[in-house]
């Protein structure tokens, strides 16, 4: 095949055939197309959306451009993907709870992107934890413990690595087709039997409107199913941080309190059991999503999930006693102070993206490639939508490396909160469920 013919079709606003897209997906990794051709391809797809069959073909070719894991486990192999948000620590509670219910979870996770936090950055707040393991070790840990949260090796979906880098510099990230192929090529390379997608919507989401989030969720579910993986999606709220903390070690701390049932964060609990319930139902470990949710809740309440988490942390290089002694192991910031609102009132709106960016500027995320993260910084006790704030109830507490950084973050947090006189309508945690 010839890239020029495919690009000419896109120029004429004609859809390439699935076999042409399949060829292009492979050519991205083999080097048979240049960066200029990859950029023109991405721009063409932004202008001429693909058919469902075309999207499946491109996704499968990108998945197959690198290693595709296969498993021989006594239970189903499952995973969750979230489109990213602030204070979203569901992976920490969900992966071990699923493992305790008989699923096997090779959770290949990412780092923070833009204003959103990344599961690997959070876990690396735990001393000794390493997200980089060989495939052989990943198999061993998943086989023994049932779950491992790790990073993607260079050999997973190299076509996506190349195309993503090109999209990043050609203004072509925002295409539902390309986002779908990018996310799923990596997830499906983990050899899953079932997948649940947490598509966020609201001011802290990648997709900010209900319409865009719904379109992405439909595209992801149809493409994953077309590629042979049982999948459902929940569209969930990101118009406030999921939990009361934002920042790596701080989110681990709040996650540990929910995982051990010491002090449960309600929204984290509800989302964990809902997503887990979907996966248990999809993979045959529960009759319905509701029955699955009950099982996940049981695994959290009994301590079985916490026990899996502790073993996973130890297997990945962290302390052997983390669940009982997390307070001793997590780093603490030098400066911790409350941030009060300019005036008393009710939290009417939160610019969650601005909260996430404030964490990045504190040093909790990366402003450029290679930046070293400070795991101790961020916010805790964040007020939620509809909560009263005043000189007695702060917007939140900032954790910073210096007084100057704390002050800058306090200004940013005040700017992110709109305080009103009346309580706003509270959005539901789960807006919609998208099934094939």
3-state secondary structure the chain: CCHHHHHHHHHCCCCCCHHHHHHHHHHHHHCCCCHHHHHHHHHHHHHCCCCHHHHHHHHHHHHCCCCCCCCCCCCCEEEEEECCCCCCCHHHHHHHHHHHCCCEEEEEECCCECCECCHHHHHCCCCCCCCCCCHHHHHHHHHHHCEEEEECCCCCCHHHHHHHHHHHHHCCCCCHHHHHHHHHHHHHCCCCCEEEEEEEECCCCCCCCHHHHHHHHHHHHHHHHHCCCEEEEEEEECCCCCCCCECHHHHHHHHHHHHCCCCCCHHHHHHHHHHHHHHHHHCCCCCCHHHHHHHHHHHHHHCHHHHHHHHHHHHCCCCCCHHHHHHHHCCCCCEEEEECCCCCEEEEEECHHHHHHHHHHHHHCCCCCCCCCCCCCEEECCCCCCCEECCCCCCEEEEECCHHHHHHHHHHHHHHEEEECCCCCCCCCEEEEECC
- Residue closer to ligand URA by CB (options 91, 182) is 182
Pick the catalytic residue from 186, 295, 397, 431.
Answer: 186
- Residue closer to ligand URA by CB (options 197, 286) is 197
Among 179, 281, 359, 382, which residue sits at the site for ligand URA (rule: CB under 6 A)?
Answer: 179
Q: Binding string, 97-136, against ligand URA, x = CB under 6 A?
A: ----------------------------------------
- Residue closer to ligand URA by CB (options 157, 285) is 157
Q: Which stretch binds ligand URA (CB under 6 A): 121-129, 173-181, 301-309, 343-351?
A: 173-181
Residue 81 known to be catalytic: yes
Among 182, 201, 245, 380, which residue sits at the site for ligand URA (rule: CB under 6 A)?
Answer: 182
Residue 107 CB, shortest distance to ligand URA, in Å, is: 15
Residue 187 known to be catalytic: yes
Residue 11 known to be catalytic: no
Q: Which of residues 275-294 bind ligand URA (CB under 6 A)?
A: none
Pick the catalytic residue from 22, 65, 182, 380.
Answer: 182
Residue 208 known to be catalytic: no
Q: Which stretch binds ligand URA (CB under 6 A): 177-185, 300-308, 364-372, 408-416?
A: 177-185
- Does position 145 interact with ligand URA (CB under 6 A)? The reply is no
Residue 422 CB, shortest distance to ligand URA, in Å, is: 36
- Residue closer to ligand URA by CB (options 7, 178) is 178
Residue 82 known to be catalytic: yes
- Does position 183 interact with ligand URA (CB under 6 A)? The reply is yes
**Catalytic residues, which ones?**
79-82, 119, 167, 182, 186-187
- Give me the residues that bind ligand URA (CB under 6 A), please: 173, 178-179, 182-183
């Amino acid at each position: 095949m010839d890239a020029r013919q495919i690009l000419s079709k896109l120029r004429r606003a004609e859809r390439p055939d699935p076999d042409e897209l399949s060829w292009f997906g492979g050519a991205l990794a083999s080097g048979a197309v240049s960066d200029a051709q990859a950029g023109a391809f991405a721009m063409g797809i932004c202008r001429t959306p693909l058919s469902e069959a075309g999207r499946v073909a491109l996704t499968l070719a990108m998945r197959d451009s690198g290693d595709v894991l296969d498993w021989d486990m006594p239970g189903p192999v499952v995973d969750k993907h979230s489109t990213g948000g602030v204070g979203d620590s569901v992976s920490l509670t969900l992966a071990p709870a699923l493992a305790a219910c008989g699923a096997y979870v090779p959770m290949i996770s990412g780092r923070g992107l833009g204003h959103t936090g990344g599961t690997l950055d959070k876990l690396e707040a735990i001393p000794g934890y390493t997200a980089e393991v060989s495939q052989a070790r990943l198999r061993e840990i998943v086989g023994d413990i049932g779950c491992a949260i790790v990073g993607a090796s260079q050999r997973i979906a190299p076509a996506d690595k190349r195309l993503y880098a090109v999209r990043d510099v050609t203004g072509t990230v925002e295409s539902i087709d390309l986002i779908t192929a990018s996310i799923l090529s990596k997830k499906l390379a983990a050899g899953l039997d079932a997948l649940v997608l947490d598509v966020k919507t609201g001011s802290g989401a990648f997709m900010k409107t209900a319409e865009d989030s719904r379109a992405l969720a439909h595209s992801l579910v149809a493409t994953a199913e077309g590629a042979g993986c049982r999948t459902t999606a929940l569209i969930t709220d990101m118009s406030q941080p999921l939990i009361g903390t934002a920042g790596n070690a701080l989110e681990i701390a709040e996650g540990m309190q929910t995982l051990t049932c010491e002090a449960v964060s309600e929204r984290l609990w509800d989302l964990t059991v809902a997503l887990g319930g979907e996966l248990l139902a999809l993979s045959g470990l529960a009759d319905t999503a509701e029955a699955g949710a009950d099982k996940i809740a049981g695994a959290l309440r009994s301590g079985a999930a916490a026990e899996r988490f502790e073993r996973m942390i130890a297997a990945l290089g962290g302390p052997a006693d983390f669940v009982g002694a997390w307070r001793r192991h997590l780093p603490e910031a030098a400066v911790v102070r409350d941030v009060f609102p300019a005036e008393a009132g009710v939290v009417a709106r939160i610019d969650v993206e601005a909260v996430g960016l404030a964490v990045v500027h504190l040093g909790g995320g990366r402003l450029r490639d290679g930046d070293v993260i400070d795991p101790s910084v961020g916010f805790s006790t964040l007020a939620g939508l509809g909560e009263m704030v005043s000189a007695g109830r702060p917007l939140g507490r900032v954790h910073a490396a210096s007084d100057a950084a704390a002050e800058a973050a306090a200004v940013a947090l005040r700017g992110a909160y709109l305080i009103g006189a009346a309580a706003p309508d509270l959005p539901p945690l789960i807006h919609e469920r998208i099934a094939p």
